[in-house]
Amino acid sequence: MRTAIIWQDTGAISTCIASTALTSFELLGALYLVFMEREGRKKLTAFNVSLGISAVSVILANICLILGIAGNHDRRKTGSPYFFEVASIATFQMCYIYVCWSRSKGTAKMTSPTLFRTANVLVILAPIACYLPVIPLILYYFLDASYEFKLRITANMSSVFAGVFASTFDSILLTTFVTFLFRNRLETEEISKDAYIAAQHGILANTLSFIAVGLYCASLLFGKDGDWQNMIVSGVLFLCQSIVLNWVVMKFRLHKLEEQEDSVIVYGRNSRGEKYGDIVKVVEEEVLGRVSDTTMRSLGS
């Protein structure tokens, strides 16, 4: 065990502080977007709740990592801070799966029923897989100290399993998103804007998750006195913050798209009958880019 903080520890603490501040702003932004949703829409959706909990989990994990580094440079020996750090990461991982699934299950079902069923099973099993690394840490408080090494190995193996579980889920969603975009481009069919936005941000979230899982598993390879372990974990938490930011930006883009679509409806309702088609055409071309031939023929009839 090191007896002094080295520059990697200082870098880890600085990264955690930056990640905590950014995630706090992202949480406020998400709450603002929920508040600004159209009247009558349900606020406590699976997406909104999971997004809020994931942001809080990232903040708690960063705080626990800072406390762990300050209290004992081998943060895994700090007891409660390390326990809550692992629990917070597990909560984020579970919410990550729920957020991704809430925005992509329709696309997955339409693209590949087989992948949809497989991903749905993984979503059901997510709480067990994600919280599996927490169980050895709970047992640590009740078993003799001689079991510490065995429990640590079990916790590491459970973390690797949870990482493989998340990567499998990411692989399914990434395949779904890429297939969806590629198939629609080949068939020259017009993709709905909201589905396109969800696919874009889904691919980015899955990519960031792959990197975060790889780094977290790599951190387990370092010994208890590994100089880079704390720095790597802080980098993982910063990637988790980036995933939250990605979701908030996606929610903002969908909110703006909804406002634009609402403006099209308002123009149509406020227009005279003989000018209805012309006005909708102008507004839709400005807001959505173009209007399908089928839509224009129906407006002209």
Q: What is the pLDDT of residue 223?
A: 53
What pTM did the predictor assign? 0.80
Q: Between these two residues, 163 and 226, which has the higher pLDDT value?
A: 163
- Least confident segment among 90-94, 145-149, 187-191: 187-191
What does the H/E/C string look like for the chain?
CCCCCCHHHHHHHHHHHHHHHHHHHHHHHHHHHHHCCCCCCCCCCHHHHHHHHHHHHHHHHHHHHHHHHHHCCCHHHCCHHHHHHHHHHHHHHHHHHHHHHHHHHHHHHHHCHHHHHHHHHHHHHHHHHHHCCHHHHHHHCCCCHHHHHHHHHHHHHHHHHHHHHHHHHHHHHHHHHHHHHHHHHHCCCCCCHHHHHHHHHHHHHHHHHHHHHHHHHHHCCCCCCCCCHHHHHHHHHHHHHHHHHHHHHHHHHHHHHHHHHHHHHHHHHHCCHHHHHHHHHHHHHHHCCCCCHHHHHHHHC
Break the chain into its structural domains and give their ranges. 7-255
Average pLDDT, the chain: 79
* 118-176 residue pLDDT tens: 999 999 999 999 999 999 888 887 777 777 778 888 888 898 899 899 999 999 999 98
Whether 187 has a pLDDT exceeding 70, the answer reads no
Q: What is the pLDDT of residue 10?
A: 86
pLDDT at 19 over 60: yes
Which pLDDT score is estimated for 283?
A: 38
Looking at per-residue pLDDT, the higher value among 260 and 257 belongs to: 257
> What is the reported pLDDT for 212?
93
Thinking of the domain 7-255, which architecture would CATH place it in?
Up-down Bundle (1.20)
